[in-house]
Structure 1
Amino acid sequence: VSPERASQAIEVLTLLVSVRRSLFSTDAERRRFLLHVMQGITDILETRRGLSDGGVYHSFCRLLGRLKASYQLSELVRVEGYKRWIELAANFAVDSFTEMNWSANSIHYILGLWSRLVAAVPYVKMDSRVKTDPMLDSTAPRVVLAYVEARVDFVDAVIKGDADVDDLDDEERVEEQLEQLPGVCRYQYRTVAGGLTEIFDRIKDTYLHRVGSMRTMRSMGGAGAAPSEEALMEIRACEQKMAWIVYMISAIIGGQSFGSSSTDPDHVNIDADLCRRVLTLMEHVDIQTTNSDGAERVDPRLEAALLYFMANFRKAYIGEQHGMPPPSTKDNPEATKTHRQKLFLQLFEHIGHGAHDVVVSKIIAKMCNNLRFWVDERKIIETTLALFSEMAWTYSSGNLLLQLEAVDHLLKNHTSEHFGFLRTLDNVRLRTRFYTALARLLFIEDDPDRFVEFMAPLIETLMMLRERTGEKSPEVMQLLVGVCRDLRGIALATNNKRTYTLLFDQLYPDHMGVFVSALEVWADVPAVTTSVLKFIREFVSNRAGRIKFDSCSPAGVLLFREASNTLVAYGSRISEFTPDNELALYPAKYKGVSISMSLLAACLDGEYVPFGVFDLYGDDCLSKALQTVLGLALSVPMEDMLSFKKLGTSYFHLMQLLFRDHLKFLTASDPATGVFIQLVRSLQEGLDSLDPRFSMHAAMAVDCLAAFFVRSSSKAGRDETVDRLHVHLSTEPTLFQELRNMLFEILVFSEVPNQWSLARPLLSLIVAADSIPEEWAAAAGSGPLQSFVDYQGVFISTQPPEVHERLAGQFEKLLTDVSRSLDGANRERFAQRLSHFRHEARTYIKFLQ
């Protein structure tokens, strides 16, 4: 049989093994089926027939994994030949690990089999029907230690170039294997941990010896001071081997529920023994890197493994839910401790690196040094910042961090002078995450003075930029981009009135002009404009209702005025800009347009600005902002608007807000220009879009327009906005009926994920279209208007004759008890009827092409 057919046959077996228990008529029949499957697998394991082919081997590993997933261990143990099967399965696993070069893609299936087997042992012991020993006490440790040895030995093949792939560079594959380890390692934990530590100690001793010899050679000087290539390869091999062991220890530590009632005190001591070794290695690596000023950094893979350990250590132990004593217990060490707290103290006592706050302080110091010395390794910087953010996120761990001297020093020394990664433009996006984490820590406590001290370097940078306004140099650009990214990170961390007000008071009014000047000077440099606009957008966004000024304060109006100045400064300079390369159109222009629209939308939807005061007191900042941003929006072809998701989402969201609250501005345009009708037509494009975000916002905008027309028609001649709206609509009297017809057909014929959002404006459109005066149609020469009743006839005529009567009946039910009112109850009633109409009609109508 060809390997391809053999692989397909095993895949069929895998599917058969996966069949449900209910498909077998009796349990005896199912047991006979399992016996045949296990006999077949045993035969393949004995003869290894066909397993020399990679595809067949991979399919067979999947079959092994599926077998345990479909059958309980108690069922497997009772099958005749189980002992032989488990012995052969263990031998197969050990042999597979030694052939890592071509079996790497299948290793996680083998580990998954053994993880599931040991997880089921407690249930087997409770099953009185099982008389056979599962034989896992000896086989499981042998399998997992063989995996450890194989992973370590395979590093030598990687270093020498004899391996096809280095798994340490494949995060997904490493994670697949590691997630199977905790269960199988903890089954005979002392045995496995003993083997693991023996291997780790052996490699570490070799490593320290090689590094010590290299330093001795360098200190001696002379021609032979430089280490040989062979010596460097041995050191790198040791570092990569230790990386694997650290990954494994991390997975074991992280894959538990520490402090639960099932936690074994003996396992706590073993955990501590493993953690002590990794923490000692981490200290050594940190000292080595710091003393050499980054010249003696370890292999990036080992650094990534140490970060993985720190993340799992945090997940397993840091937090009051894991037994960490709250800060209040420091003043009362004799207080009664819970079971979890006792286990927690036992763990750190056996680790031997000090109390939990000392260990966490060492982890923070290690992360800080990563940010200083791994500037050129973006992945390490990203992972370090992600871990720091996680530690700062929760209240208990954040509170712990605030008590540490290392964190206090960090909050006082956080600029590029102390952290090299802040000086690199490639890392500019990571600055936002860094400052979000720092600010989140600061905001845990209500300490305005500490925040002022923290902001001092950033305020100093803003003052420097204000003095250098107009200077267009790389240094100014880097300062400007950096400080905007930093401030945006701080703004992201503000989530209530107290924290937002702290930031607002630092920036307004002295420093807001820096951002307007920057946009005036750097309007043609996307790196600058994006950073500035994104910060301002975040600064004016009222997330979680954080922007709340006192009733006597004009701060809301003043904040919007600054946002308006920013938009006008950018929009007036970028509107006529066209990049030479079409591929650069989005980053060079459209991205800025998108941010500008979302910035204005954030202001309009913030509910902290009484926009009516601007007209009342003759302030034109609102009209300038609206005109500028609307001009930018209209400069983008609708085809491009629909092509770029972020751009289109920003546009239709802004349209929703403008048609909801600012029709006075929209209708003020000259009807001869057709701008208002163009905007409504763009909503038509949005409704017909496949993107649910576009159609949702467009539907809301259409609903606002149609509802306003219906509700305000009685004000004609008395309300300027209403009169202007009528003038615009009179030029296109069929507009509402076109929107109505299109929306109805979308709802009936299309599979839309946001059906309720699209259904809401339909009733408004039906009433609005039927309210258009006939004289408008006559004046425009558009022919007679079509009522919804007329449209029903047209719709029915497009369907086969045999369904006409049923459709007519469905239309009658659609409007039963539905009035022409747009109150909430009537809308809800119509939406329910429409949903029923759609469900029924789609069973028999002919879908239009």
Structure 2
Amino acid sequence: MADWQRYGELSKQRLDRAILTFFQHLRKSYVGDQAMHSSKLYARLSELLGLHDHLLLLDFFVRKIATNLKCYTVSEEVIDHTLSLFLELASGYVTGKLLLKLDTIKFIVAHHNREHFPFLEEYSCSKSRTTFYYTIGWLIFMDDSPVLFKSSMAPLQKVFITLESTPDAMFRTDTVKYALIGLMRDLRGIAMATNSRRTYGFLFDWIYPAHMPIVLRGISHWADKPEVTTPLLKFMAEFVLNKAQRVTFDTSSPNGILLFREVSKLLVAYGSRILSLSKATDIYAFKYKGIWISLTILSRALSGNYVNFGVFELYGDRSLADVLDIALKMALSIPLADILAYRKLTRAYFAFLEVIFNSHIVFVLNLHTSAFMHIVSSLESGLKGLDVGISSQCASAIDNLAAFYFLNITMGEAPTSPAAINLASHIAECPSLLPEILKTLFEIVLFEDCGNQWNLSRPMLSLILISEQMYSGLKAHILASQPVDQHQRLALCFDKLMTDVVRSLDSKNRDKFTQNLTIFRHDFRVK
């Protein structure tokens, strides 16, 4: 039997996975950051195998990793296990530096293509590509050299050039499809590895503006194929994420604004197409997944702190308005029951609402009343959920809405700005909206074991200050639900809740209310 055929056998795969597991445990004790370099193990390894120090042992590991990646083409389990060990070695500070000295690593960094690593051509292993390129990126950026980065990107550069030279008439072929899927998974891995302003700059300057059009072209031609759009959108979600303040440009640079414009073009192109397509049998895979990744992209771009959004309105640029509009249309196209049923969709939806209520509330207030009511009602549903993180995001969004109402309508003689007038109109059409939310907040604090009382206290004060009448009505409702012999004691609890709390939303007053609420909750629950 030929050697290469043995790699298709289960027995060989089990043996290699056992070897990888052994290597992982051996590495933790004898190689790298926490290694015991003077161990007797090296004396014995020197006698048996000639491996007299941890650099030689590391090279032994790496040659096995390279062999696995070269010889296994369809065994996803072995490839993933091999890549897991590779990433462990690369991400250690000491082992990562040592790896760069090895010829095998220099070869992998320079020749990461399907000719040398056939698994890259297998669609069934395409998810493994992200981990592979994350590891390669980690090694490249450890050297912090723009020259090394540029030369290392040569295999991906070839793919870009091939796709860019493909005419539109040929862009819906399987060849293009699999090339796009692979490229986007590879780029996501490289983007994940950028963890500083400098290394992110290498990637940004390489992709923008030269190669960005292929991303837009890909989404435009393949919007109806989730197997293409998912890796493409996930790459973009990683590319716009400002982790470790890596997306930071010079004060005179327009790059933050230019990046947001690319986000806008991409999401408008995807959203306008996905909303026009008919329903599929698997609605989550076909539509919902792409929408939650899109909302994540926009949330990250809006909260990344690298864009001055005032620029768009100042210069009549529709990028911000158009992308907010399409994002809301995508979110509103999904029934609330479905949003709450799919965990990843739930998280993306409420994270998006928190961001727009925090930074772009005027856009929300300018919506049609029915859309506004639907969104605010969904925030109340999020408050009632079991997820503390989502409940806190909803509380933050409600607090921003209630604070806007208090400052612009309650405390103002009459609403003057168009946004304030719109809000007053929305609430006039549904006067029970805010009282119902305040009632929900009180019920959660009083009758449930909430782990985020501080977060919930913020919108409670904002809502109480909006209207004394609303607060009085709520007190009467809660008291009526309790035994008659407890009314006097509980009424006193309510009075204490507002002790030394004034009509203001400054931080000192908010903190006083939060302190009072803790005492109020304790006293109210005492039997």
- Regarding TM over 0.5, the answer is yes
Q: What is the aligned partner in structure 2 of residue 540 from structure 1?
A: 240
Q: Which amino acid aligns with 1:316?
A: S
Task: Name which one, 1 or 2, has greater alpha-carbon Rg.
Answer: 1
Any conservation in 2 of the 1:484–1:535 contact (CA below 8 Å)?
yes
Distance 1:840 1:613 in 2: 51
Any conservation in 2 of the 1:433–1:489 contact (CA below 8 Å)?
yes
How far did residue 731 of structure 1 move?
1.9
Runs of 5+ in structure 2 lacking a partner?
Answer: none
TM-score using structure 1 length: 0.59
How far did residue 295 of structure 1 move?
7.3
Q: Check if 1:832 corresponds to 2:515.
A: yes
Q: What is the aligned partner in structure 2 of residue 508 from structure 1?
A: 208
Distance 1:289 1:829 in 2: 74
How far did residue 289 of structure 1 move?
4.4
Distance 1:462 1:769 in 2: 59
2:12 to 269, 282, 299: 299
Q: Check if 1:761 corresponds to 2:459.
A: yes
Distance 1:547 1:712 in 2: 35
Describe the shift of the 1:313–1:834 C-alpha distance in structure 2 as closer, same or farther (beyond 3 A).
same
> Deviations 1:461-507 (Å, cap 9, x if unpaired)?
11211222532111111100000000000111111101100000110
Q: What is the aligned partner in structure 2 of residue 566 from structure 1?
A: 266
How far did residue 798 of structure 1 move?
1.3
Q: What is the aligned partner in structure 1 of residue 341 from structure 2?
A: 643
Describe the shift of the 1:381–1:405 C-alpha distance in structure 2 as closer, same or farther (beyond 3 A).
same
Describe the shift of the 1:316–1:793 C-alpha distance in structure 2 as closer, same or farther (beyond 3 A).
same
- Percent of matched pairs sharing the same residue: 39
Distance 2:50 2:167 in 1: 52
Map 1:376-525 onto structure 2 (within 5 A).
376-470=74-168, 471-525=171-225
Distance 1:807 1:317 in 2: 65
Q: What is the aligned partner in structure 1 of residue 389 from structure 2?
A: 693
Any conservation in 1 of the 2:66–2:104 contact (CA below 8 Å)?
no
Map 1:125-204 onto structure 2 (within 5 A).
none
How far did residue 569 of structure 1 move?
0.8
Describe the shift of the 1:299–1:344 C-alpha distance in structure 2 as closer, same or farther (beyond 3 A).
closer
Q: What is the aligned partner in structure 2 of residue 62 from structure 1?
A: none
Distance 1:469 1:717 in 2: 55
Describe the shift of the 1:759–1:745 C-alpha distance in structure 2 as closer, same or farther (beyond 3 A).
same
Describe the shift of the 1:360–1:351 C-alpha distance in structure 2 as closer, same or farther (beyond 3 A).
farther
Which deviates more from structure 2 when the two are superposed, residues 417-426 or residues 509-518?
Answer: 417-426
> Deviations 1:325-355 (Å, cap 9, x if unpaired)?
xxxxxxxxxxxxxxx4x75764553453234
How far did residue 414 of structure 1 move?
0.8
Q: Check if 1:633 corresponds to 2:326.
A: no
Runs of 5+ in structure 1 lacking a partner?
Answer: 1-217, 219-287, 325-339, 771-785, 845-849
Map 1:695-844 onto structure 2 (within 5 A).
695-713=391-409, 714=412, 716-770=414-468, 786-844=469-527
Q: What is the aligned partner in structure 1 of residue 252 from structure 2?
A: 552
Any conservation in 1 of the 2:29–2:36 contact (CA below 8 Å)?
no
Q: Which amino acid aligns with 2:58?
A: V
CA RMSD in angstroms, aligned pairs only = 2.0
How far did residue 562 of structure 1 move?
0.5
Distance 1:769 1:537 in 2: 41
Distance 2:372 2:472 in 1: 28
Q: Which amino acid aligns with 1:842?
A: R
Q: What is the aligned partner in structure 1 of residue 49 from structure 2?
A: 352
How far did residue 790 of structure 1 move?
3.1
> Deviations 1:667-726 (Å, cap 9, x if unpaired)?
22244xx22222112212211223333322111100111112212333855433223322
Map 1:666-681 onto structure 2 (within 5 A).
666-671=364-369, 674-681=370-377
Q: Which amino acid aligns with 2:130?
A: T
Map 1:93-108 onto structure 2 (within 5 A).
none
Q: Which amino acid aligns with 1:299?
A: K
Q: What is the aligned partner in structure 2 of residue 315 from structure 1?
A: 28
SS of structure 2 residue aligned to 1:322: coil
Map 1:652-671 onto structure 2 (within 5 A).
652-671=350-369
> Deviations 1:83-137 (Å, cap 9, x if unpaired)?
xxxxxxxxxxxxxxxxxxxxxxxxxxxxxxxxxxxxxxxxxxxxxxxxxxxxxxx
SS of structure 2 residue aligned to 1:376: coil
Number of aligned residue pairs = 522
Map 1:604-619 onto structure 2 (within 5 A).
604-619=302-317
Describe the shift of the 1:716–1:403 C-alpha distance in structure 2 as closer, same or farther (beyond 3 A).
farther
TM-score using structure 2 length: 0.95
Distance 1:295 1:638 in 2: 47
